[in-house]
Chains A and B, each alone.
Chain A
Amino acid sequence: MKKFLSKINRRDALTLLVLVGIFAFFFIMLQTGAASHQFKNMIIPMTYYILLAISLNLMVGVLGELSLGHAGFMSVGAYTGCFLSVMLVEHFPDLPMFVYLPVAMLCGGLMAALFGVIIGIPALRVKGDYLAIVTLAFCEIIKTVIINLDFLGGAIGFDTDKIVPDRNKALTLLPYAAFAVIVSAILIMNLVRSKHGRAIMAVRDNRIAAEACGINVNFYKVAVFGIAAFFAGVAGVLYGHNDVLLKSSTFDFNMSIEILIMVVLGGMGSNMLGSVIAAVVMTALPEILRDFSDYRMLIYSVMLIVIMLFTSAPALAGIRERLSLNFIKDAVTKRIAAAKAKKANKTKEEQK
């Protein structure tokens, strides 16, 4: 019990609670029909962006390697999973969705993981900015290769319209999306908490020291590449099933950077809650701003700058402290301390 309530466990439990809360909110909105059309269409994108953000956070925040190739992994997953789904639907028209969608997700994820490992091995030689460029190049290579593969639709795009014939797509896909995201979040957070997670963070903090301690740096780097790519691939499968047309040009470095912004905005590191919230906010924000029509993108960019400054500028630390929710925690710790003191006093008195 004591272990369960340790600080790190509490943090992860809160993340899970928030995730469950978000999905419960989505479900209620969809089931009761209270969701507007715009919101309904945003739900699945929000879920796959959550998945993308936490998996990239594993790479950028926990392993400490800057990757701009996340959209590339996502497209590998999307094409693999959707291709499989289309094949299955064509050849076995009676196959229910709860069979082929999880299979597609798993295969899409595995294929992306394979590519993650393949790109991870040569990437061992480079780090920092150089690695960012290597991953960026990988993303472009994937894009160009797919454009030239005619069986994947080439430039015209891969038609995924027939996979999910249901008219209320958001409600059909949400259970799968919610399941995928929650399971992935649990796996990623457990990994970070585990012995391996500590090894990965040791690699981030000081590679030489970690190596001297007997940690296999190369193994962990490649493994994290593979794992992060796996979840990006699963997110890609969700993307492909939600959209009706996969175009490889969508998965360019702009998309990678969009995911990176979510991670940076939410706070890089082992706390996944920030990434989750940032993913939801960043997906919703441009849509909420639609009412400003012409000034939308301007306001959006200004808001990004303001949020970035607010979360990181040292001069604003005072305001941050005042606005933070830490006072709840402080109050609770105070209470607990007071209760303990009281109890201690009591026992003391009794002893007397």
Chain B
Amino acid sequence: MKKIFSLVLAVLMVASCAVAFASCNGGSKALFEKDPEDNVIVKIGGIGPLTGDYASYGNSVKNGAQIAVDMLNESGALKGIKFELLFEDSEGDGTKAVNAFGKLQDDGMNVSLGGVLSGETKNIVASAAESGILVLTPSASAKDAINKDNAFRVCFNDPQQGLYAAEIIKEKGLATKIALFYDNGNDYCKGNADTFKSRAAELGLQIVTEQTYTEGSNTDFSTQITAIKEAGAELVFMPIYYSDAAKFLRQAVDTLDTVFFGVDGLDGLIGECGTEHASDCEDVILLTPYFADSVDPTVKSFVEAYEEKFGATPDQFAADGYDAVLAIAEAIEENGFTPDQLMEITAEDFNKKMVAAMTKITVTGATGVMTWTADGETDKDPNVLQIKGGEYVEYKTADAE
């Protein structure tokens, strides 16, 4: 009898699995749902690494986006329309990100935040082409991560940053002999370094040495530091993330008296160095569209709300997530959707209109004033900042000399 019982249980388990995987979108269901107060809910679906090596980025984006959703819902900026953030873990893996995207589609996502990392975003964008849903990734910076018409991004792409960096170094006369230092196993670092190299060559800047490391060898940088010293570099361009940069700087500050120059991945460096090693990151120059100590009112209100809710200072990724949600709200406003219209619109129409609105809107967010081009790139000004006494200040040429 027990055996028959167990057999029945097994059959039930298989059946329940089949039911769980069967889709429930049969028939004509409205695209949007309503909450008890009769507001239309727009579901924003985010995907990013919430566990694993890159968990801090995914969590930052998720938290930043949550702040924007809360703010929009509280202020009631869009009458009768509320937002809901759904966020799924990708573990930083493209295949899992696509599964997560499917899960979000099943949950009725209306707009996608793509992925947090470039690789996963590329997979998501390919998967999203089928439905044409608007994909606005906060932080996927690789050039061809958003190679479809319905995909946009909030951050700069890697080539853009490398380009700006070379131009600023030339313009401000920071150095002529430059050492490149980056993680050549990371697409973000490599993308930046590659364009920096070609642009620097065009501008007549000399790259005296190129030192690389990989994820597996990011603890001891003594060989690279010696090579940079011997090459006689005046400036080290390091398009890397802040955690590696902190380790590098701790080992390098005593040996090298060069200028250290980075891009937006260095945001978070002050926190990583802490008060104990604050002198390590003193005078480091970085190029970033966002910094938490800005006096800009949009940034201020974002940082305050974030600190209150999560007890931490928001980084670049959080700001990107925040801005992505603001842009989505702006795109809905641009279309002038009323709650009644939304209840009747088809998915296809909604997606088309949202994508079309992206190139028309102007959004003032935590990372600056943004507009978008049809190929999905954002247009905004980077800030050149320098770390002085544990704070970011606007970089001035006189200080460097």
Contacts and interface: CB of A to CB of B under 8 A. Distances in A.
A41 B101 contact: yes
Contacts of A34: 22-23
B21 A245 contact: no
A216 interface: no
A41 B98 CA distance: 7
Contacts of A156: 142, 187, 190-191
B401 to A, nearest CB: 35
Contact of A327 (B3, B122, B187): B3
B20 interface: yes
A5 interface: no
B106 A37 contact: yes
Given A147-B185, A245-B119, A327-B3, 18 more contacts: A36-B21, A36-B106, A37-B101, A37-B105, A39-B22, A39-B102, A45-B95, A140-B216, A147-B184, A157-B119, A161-B122, A239-B95, A243-B94, A244-B126, A245-B122, A247-B94, A249-B215, A325-B7
B21 A249 contact: no
Interface centre among B21, B89, B122, B130 (most CB of A within 10 A): B21
B8 interface: no
Which one of A147, A156, A159, A286 has the greatest number of beta carbons of chain B within 10 Å? A156
10 contacts: A36-B106, A38-B102, A39-B23, A39-B102, A140-B216, A156-B190, A243-B123, A247-B119, A249-B215, A288-B20
Listed from nearest, the 6 A-B pairs whose CB atoms lie closest are A37-B102, A38-B102, A39-B21, A36-B23, A37-B105, A41-B102
Given A157-B119, A296-B89, A322 B94 contact: no
B320 interface: no
B224 interface: no
A35 B94 contact: no
A325 B8 CA distance: 11
A284 B215 CA distance: 30
Contacts of B129: 167
B184 A155 contact: yes
Contacts of A36: 21-24, 102, 106
Contact of B187 (A39, A41, A157, A239): A157
Interface in A35-74: 35-42, 45
Contact of B51 (A29, A159, A161, A297): A297
A290 B103 contact: yes
B21 A144 contact: no
B103 A144 contact: no
Contacts of B2: 322
Nearest to A331: B3
Contacts of A245: 94, 119, 122-123
Contacts of A35: 21-23
Contact of A42 (B51, B93, B99, B142): B99
Interface string A146-179: 0110000011110101000001100000000000
A155 B21 contact: no
A312 interface: no
- Label chain A's interface by main secondary structure: helix
Nearest to A327: B3
Given A34-B23, A148-B184, A155-B186, A244 B102 contact: no
A143 to B, nearest CB: 8
Given A29-B21, A155-B187, A161-B126, A287 B3 contact: no
A218 interface: no
Interface in B1-19: 2-3, 6-7, 17-18
B100 interface: yes
Interface string A1-12: 000000000000
B375 interface: no
Nearest to A297: B51
Contact of A250 (B6, B89, B93, B106): B93
A290 B100 contact: yes
Interface string B95-131: 1101111110110000000000001001100110110
A212 interface: no
B214 interface: yes
A147 B214 contact: yes
Contacts of B187: 155-157, 247
Contacts of B7: 325
A323 interface: yes
A56 B322 CA distance: 45
Given A144-B214, A245-B119, A161 B190 contact: no
Contact of B130 (A140, A167, A247, A287): A167
B147 interface: yes
Contacts of B216: 140
Interface in B248-300: none
Interface in A248-307: 249-250, 284, 286-288, 290, 293, 296-297
B349 interface: no
Contact of B6 (A148, A243, A323): A323
B88 interface: yes
Contacts of B3: 322, 327
A40 B23 CA distance: 10
Interface in B124-151: 126-127, 129-130, 142, 144, 147
User: Chain B CB within 10 Å — which of A25, A159, A243, A297 has the most?
Assistant: A243
A167 B3 CA distance: 45
Contacts of A41: 98-99, 101-102, 127
B22 A287 contact: no
A297 B93 CA distance: 15
Interface string B172-197: 00000000000111110111000000
A335 B23 CA distance: 43
A290 B215 CA distance: 29
Contacts of B99: 38, 41-42, 45, 287
Nearest to A25: B18
Nearest to B147: A161
A241 to B, nearest CB: 12
Interface in B50-71: 51
